[in-house]
Structure 1
């Protein structure tokens, strides 16, 4: 349930590459070796005469201050920051390898057209050096990426594409206390279909046209969460897709890395991202 902010494919490739690098090193050596549910305090919003319009008005836009967000879609989880004033986006994800055991984290930072990435490997000392991956921010050249869709871009202040989902509902019910409900049509258009990386919309059949959702607007008037209850279909289990927006005005502003904290991305970074 996202705009084009990338997918977990990149981080999976990173983890796979790290495992391969480790295996090669071991063979050649001959020996082995984010609660995001904060929704503010105060009085709940009053019931609206037009619930759908009221809910859409709560979705973040370019006038909002910096805020944090998180999304959960099946086994994919992202955390990040949005700073509309700078057209800035920061997106973090991680993947854990069980054999060998280590965790790889990757954070992208985007400001307008510029993009940086930072990699952090924990649980296995020396692996990051083996992969020749700096621990600093690395400035990327998008023209050197095989598939630019694998890295984030800033599109607008609604990274989870919540407004597009809400607009597909014929009607929205105001359930009181800032809670709204309705049914989303995941087949409405190509952009909606592209918002879901782990949901087989075709397998859902007619059920995809009426997926129940619940939205919560915080006392500050901002959308706090949107949850889609996707039913089971074929081999696909039922799942909840959750987007949360929080810390409006409390999150740090996004700025370009400077000085010793940044360098141009080396060839190893493009090898990582291009798989």
Structure 2
């Protein structure tokens, strides 16, 4: 339920690469977040046009910086959006069980520029084995084999909640800032591409009426959108959840400077290109 903000599958591939690097080295040697709770206070009054009211609550380019998180099955992301800077920060992590270590990766995008920072914990020395600096690394997109593996800033709605809401024929105002409706995941190609964790084809007709619940805070800002995707074929029922919070409280995004940053070395491109 996201824009092109990066591939969790890509991170899993990179974590697998880290495992492979570790295994090779051993053989050769002989051996996120802030509080996502919804704001409290008086709830918005019922609207005569619930769909329009809900769409108006979706963040846009006029909003201050805010935090977000998304959960799509096993894939979890969190980050910051700063519309004024055309900035996006996206964090994700993947845990390896054998051997046990965690690879965390954070991308920062400011307009066309992109940086990545990698942090490997639980296995001392592995990050050095992979020759990955711990500072921000400035990436050259032209050196990436698949640009879809890294984020871009598209707009202030990273989970594409507005696109989902627009597919609903009607939206019900349930009171207390809560709205409900049915999304059509087959509405267009862009919508289908946004749901990489959902087998839309397997859902069949059910994909045209997927229930969703949205919550708008007393400040008029969207705080959450939850899709209840039914089971289909081998796919279990799942909830797809997007949360937007800390409007005006999240840090503004700026380009890393000085000793915080360096140009990405060849090892970074080897990692990302797999």
TM-score range normalised by the length of the shorter chain: over 0.9
CA distance in 1, matches of 2:208, 2:201: 10
Check whether the contact 2:32–2:78 (CA below 8 A) recurs between aligned residues.
no
Gaps of 5+ in 2: none
User: Structure 1 pair 163/24, CA: closer, same or farther in 2 (3 Å)?
Assistant: same
How far, CA to CA, are the matches of 1:194 and 1:34 in structure 2?
Answer: 29
Question: Aligned partners of 2:153 and 2:205: how far apart in 1?
Answer: 33
The structural deviation recorded for 1:41 is 2.2
Once the two structures are superposed, what CA deviation does each residue of 1:239-267 show, in whole Å capped at 9, x if it has no partner? Answer: 00000000000000000000000000001
**Residues 225-234 or 25-34, more deviating:** 25-34
1:34 deviation in Å?
A: 5.8
Alpha-carbon offset, residue 32 of structure 1: 31
Aligned 8 A contact 1:93 1:107 in 2: yes
Q: Distance in 2 between matches of 1:195 and 1:220?
A: 28
* Counterparts of 2:12 and 2:273, CA distance in 1: 12
1:26–1:33 Cα contact (<8 Å) kept: no
Distance 2:218 2:28 in 1: 60
Is the 1:39–1:219 Cα contact (8 Å) retained in structure 2?
Answer: no
Unaligned segments of structure 1, at least 5 residues: none
Instruction: Tell me which moved more, 8-17 or 48-57.
Output: 8-17
- What TM-score does the superposition give when structure 2 sets the normalisation length? 0.98
Counterpart CA distance in 2 for 1:85 and 1:161 is 18
The worse-fitting range, judged by mean Cα deviation, of 8-17 and 197-206 is 8-17
CA RMSD across the alignment: 2.8
Cα offset for 1:11? 1.1
CA–CA separation in structure 2 for the residues paired with 1:9 and 1:212: 26
Tell me if the contact between 2:163 and 2:191 (Cα under 8 Å) persists in the aligned partners.
Answer: yes
Name the TM-score, length of structure 1 as normaliser. Answer: 0.98
Structure 1 moving runs of 4+ over 2 Å: 32-35
Q: How many residues align?
A: 274
